[in-house]
Amino acid sequence: SCITGPTTPIKPRGQRPLLSTLIRHRLILHATQNAVQRRKPWRQITNKLGITASDNILTTAFYKEGYYR
C-alpha cells in the first residue's frame, strides 16, 4: 500500500483570529442591548467587558459580525 498524504501532522495555515467568535458575540450582544449601549463608543464597551484590543481590531471584529456604524 502506498501512502498518498503526508506522514507528519500539518500545522494549520494562517494567523489565528485575535478575537474569538465567542468574544465577538459578547461584544455585539453588549453593544446592541439598548439605545444607551448603541451610542457608546466601542472602546468603552471593551473596557467594561475587560477586553483589550486595538481600535483597528475592534472595527474589524464588529464589521465581521455585520455591525456597522
- Residue 32 resides in a domain: yes
- Residue 7 resides in a domain: no
Q: Name the residue range of residue 44's domain.
A: 21-64
- Residue 11 resides in a domain: no
Cα 36 to the chain's mean position, in Å?
22
Could you report the per-residue pLDDT of 32-43, keeping only the tens digit for each? 999 999 999 999
- Residue 3 resides in a domain: no
Q: Which of 67, 58, 8, 16 is nearest to 49 (CA)?
A: 58
- Residue 8 resides in a domain: no
27 pLDDT tier (thresholds 50, 70, 90)? very high
> Distance between CA atoms of 49 and 52, rounded to whole angstroms?
9
Count of structural domains, the chain = 1
Could you report the per-residue pLDDT of 11-23, keeping only the tens digit for each? 888 888 889 999 9
Which residue spans within the chain are E strands per DSSP?
A: none
